[in-house]
Chains A and B, each alone.
Chain A
Amino acid sequence: MAGLLALPFTVLAGDAPAPEIPKAKEKATEEYGCVAPVEYMRKNHMDELMHKRDDTLREGIRTDKFSLAECINCHVTPDEDGQFASFGEDEHFCSTCHNYASVSVDCFSCHRDTPEDTDYRHSFNVGNNPHHGKMALKGNKLSVETLKVLTEGDQE
Chain B
Amino acid sequence: MTNKTYNADLSRRHFFSKAAAAAGMAIAPGVFLRQVHARPAEQAATSEKRWGILIDTDKCAKGCDSCVTACMNENGWGEINNSEEHSNPHQKAQWIRKVTVKDKQTGHVQSLPLMCQHCENPPCVDVCPTGASMKRADGIVLVDKHTCIGCRYCMMACPYKARSFIHEDLEDQKVVAPRGKGTVESCTMCVHRVDEDGTPACVEACNADNHNAMYFGDLKDPNSEISRQLKQYGGEQLRADLGLNTGVRYRGL
Contacts and interface: CB of A to CB of B under 8 A. Distances in A.
Contacts, number: 74
A105 to B, nearest CB: 13
B interface, size bucket: 20 to 34
B11 to A, nearest CB: 22
B169 A112 contact: no
A112 B41 contact: no
A137 interface: no
Interface of B, helix, strand, loop or mixed by DSSP: loop
Interface of A: 53-55, 57-64, 69, 72, 86, 109-112, 115-116, 120, 123-125, 131-135
B45 A110 contact: no
Contact of A63 (B42, B175, B183, B191): B42
Contact of B175 (A116, A125, A131, A133): A116
Contacts of B175: 69, 72, 112, 115-116
Contact of B41 (A63, A109, A115, A116): A63
Interface string B124-165: 000000000010111000101110000000000000000000
B171 interface: yes
Contacts of B145: 110
Please name the 7 residue pairs, one residue from A and one from B, whose CB atoms are nearest each other, closest first: A110-B180, A124-B171, A60-B45, A59-B44, A110-B178, A109-B180, A111-B178
A130 to B, nearest CB: 12
A133 B169 contact: yes
B168 interface: yes
11 contacts: A57-B144, A58-B136, A60-B136, A64-B41, A69-B175, A109-B169, A112-B173, A124-B171, A132-B169, A132-B181, A133-B168
Given A57-B146, A58-B144, A62-B196, A112 B172 contact: yes
B12 interface: no
Interface in B31-48: 39, 41-45
A66 to B, nearest CB: 12
